[in-house]
Amino acid sequence: MTDTPEATIDQRPGQDYVVVARRYRPQTFEELIGQQHVSQALTRAIASERVGHAYLFTGARGVGKTSAARILAKALNCDLGTSPTPCNKCEICESVSSGDDVDVLEIDGASNRGIDEIRQLRQNVAVRPSRSRFKIYIIDEVHMLTKEAFNALLKTLEEPPEHVKFIFATTEPNKIPVTILSRCQRYDFAGIETGEIQQRLSQIAEAEGVSIEPDALQILALRAAGSMRDSQSLLEQLLSTGVSSITSVEVTKMLGIAPAARLSQLVLPLVERNAAAVLAELDAAIAEGAEVSQLIDQLLGYFRDVMTQLVGCDESQMLYALPAQRQEVREVATRLGVQTLLAIVQILDQTAARMRVSTHTRTLAEMAVIRICHLDDLDDLTTMIATLKEGSLGASPTGIKKNAGTSPPARTLRQDTAVQTPVPEAVTLGADTPLAGTVATAEPQATKTPLSADSVEEIWKQALDALSGMVADHAAEADGVDLDDTGRLVVSFSESFHRDICEKATNRSRLEDALESVCGQAVPLVMRTLTRSDGVQSTPAPRRSRRQQQAEISAEPFVRKAMELFDGDPSRLVYVPPSDPNQP
């Protein structure tokens, strides 16, 4: 990069005016600012005579893609011979720089995107260059070509004549077919750093005989967002006013942003959570000509720099704060916590996004600053949550007591006893609400309120309703449900019930889960088999489930006859038990 740029196109009196971006376009790889990786790769390829037949330059607008393509074309076709440093004095170099060379064809992909244009290109490819070594096609915004045009270009791109080179430039490489990408050498152009843009603008201003303040240079460089052409266009706009000195005030007025002092006056009440003062400062900034959306963007950049200082970065990480604001940014960082600052940045970012699609931009901005003023100290909340987590694992936090108070005394489930035996995790049922219970503690319990046997039967009935399938059928065969002296639920059953429920862990677990869902707590369950006086297990008549009763009724002769007569489906037969349980 040269220290003092020379205008590529001399601006003589009487000639049409040429803008700064064209007059100060890079003419050699050394002048290509911010793309050293591309310059080195292309320079070495030319020096080693390993120049490919197709290149793809990708990157944002104004970062040097077309300039690099022209420099490469001059390096290959210069009259003094192929060299990484073209002379820029011969007729070929000058014509390539101005875009008028007959053998270096610059094509706009947006206006020549159809298959007919690509067919014409394929026909012209076979024609040798008129005076240069290579015929070079520079297609800008190549992603605008149609699918058919890309397909027509494939064969020529893969095996072009030896005298043809292709250089494609695009801002959206994701829209280019993979078949094209695989045939090109791709170079990604990065965004240009702010410092390099400032240095280049300073050189241009000096060459134009205009002085410019450092703060003004930084504002222009930041506004360009990595694009050299955008920054030069902004400088061109300032130069067109005819002033001999450019200040930061003039730049802020032109861009519609608030000066640094006004921005600081807006930030201070935000940090102090003074909503009225913030609205007054916002109104004053707008009255001075600042755009609302630009103010929100400025605040977002300001608090971004505050965030870098809060987490321990040095001053070089500040991208938006001017040199005079850096001490202030560090002071603001000491007054805000990380969580609070992140919330502020998120509010500003969401507001900026909403303002792009709304006409009520000022209202949205005022809502954002008021929300920031009413933010609580989120770092204190984070500390409190961490304290609570530590208390749940170890000692209780200050002011919080575990197991505060005592549980109400548990009541036994049997009418003829009032034993005060501790029963861990035993469900006790209140007399007024049979199905509501509490877990009894291991402490000595007071005298229990008796529970009627009907309540126990009701619990068992509801548990069976919660079951389904064979488990419900077999559990319905229980011969008796009662409570023992310790408050455990005792179920008497036959031999078949013992085999299908007790000996199968899965079925028993389902039964216990059903009881727990009814009572709200785990129910200690005891199962026993009925025995006769002689010690032999008896098999009392099992209770029939609804499914079994339905099967028996379906087997009755008159029912089968009715089903045959009316062509009924036995699987769709529904058994409705009589309302009177004593009715046969």
Task: State CA 548 to chain mean position distance.
Answer: 58
Q: What is the CATH number of domain 32-189?
A: 3.40.50.300
Q: What is the CATH number of domain 256-379?
A: 1.20.272.10
Structure tokens at 381: 């909340």
pLDDT number for residue 266? 93
pLDDT number for residue 346? 93
- DSSP symbols for 422-467: --TT-EEE-SSSTT-EEE--SS---PPPP--HHHHHHHHHHHHHH-
Count Cβ neighbours within 10 Å for each residue of 396-431 and write b for 16 or more, e otherwise: eeeeeeeeeeeeebbbbbbeeeeeeeebeebbbbee
Helix residue ranges, H only, 274-337:
275-287, 292-310, 326-335
pLDDT number for residue 470? 59
Instruction: Give 342: exposed, middle or buried? Use CB within 10 Å, 0-12, 13-18, 19+.
Output: middle
Element (H, E) at 22: helix 20-23
Phi first, then psi, for residue 203 (nearest 5°) are -65, -40
167 closest CA partner among 258, 58, 313, 241: 58
What are the domain boundaries of the chain? Answer: 32-189, 256-379, 409-543, 545-584
What is d(CA 405, CA 76) in angstroms, rounded to the nearest whole number?
A: 90
State the pairing for strand pair 437-439/427-429.
antiparallel
pLDDT by residue for the chain (584 residues), tens only, comes to 444 454 445 555 445 788 888 899 999 999 999 999 999 999 999 999 999 999 999 999 999 999 999 999 999 999 988 999 999 999 999 999 988 899 999 999 888 888 899 999 998 998 999 889 999 999 999 999 999 999 999 989 989 999 999 999 999 999 999 999 999 999 999 999 988 999 999 999 999 999 999 989 999 998 898 899 999 999 999 998 888 899 988 898 888 888 888 999 999 999 999 999 999 999 999 998 889 999 999 999 999 999 999 988 888 888 888 888 889 999 999 888 888 899 999 999 999 999 999 999 999 999 999 999 988 777 666 676 677 666 654 444 443 333 333 333 433 333 343 333 343 333 333 333 333 333 333 333 333 334 345 577 777 777 777 666 656 666 666 666 776 666 667 777 665 555 566 556 666 677 777 777 766 666 666 766 655 444 444 444 455 556 666 777 777 777 777 777 777 776 666 666 555 555 44
Q: Which runs of E-coded beta strand occur in 451-575?
A: 480-483, 489-493, 525-529
158 closest CA partner among 174, 132, 140, 177: 177
Contact between 352 and 293 under an 8 Å Cβ cutoff? The reply is yes
Contact between 157 and 52 under an 8 Å Cβ cutoff? The reply is no
69 closest CA partner among 165, 144, 191: 165
Within 10 angstroms of residue 498's Cβ, the number of other Cβ atoms is 16
pLDDT number for residue 537? 46
Q: What's the one-letter identity of residue 319?
A: L
What is d(CA 506, CA 289) in angstroms, rounded to the nearest whole number?
A: 77
Structure tokens at 434: 């049979």
pLDDT number for residue 54? 94
Q: In sequence order, what are the residues at sequence separation of 6 or more whose Cβ sits closer than 8 angstroms to the Cβ of residue 245?
A: 210, 211, 212
Element (H, E) at 557: helix 557-565
pLDDT number for residue 445? 37
pLDDT number for residue 241? 84
pLDDT number for residue 164? 94
User: Across the strands, what pairs with 399?
Assistant: none
* Packing angle, helices 557-565 and 546-554, rounded to 10: 70
What is d(CA 276, CA 279) in angstroms, rounded to the nearest whole number?
A: 5
Task: State CA 382 to chain mean position distance.
Answer: 22
What is d(CA 214, CA 199) in angstroms, rounded to the nearest whole number?
A: 10
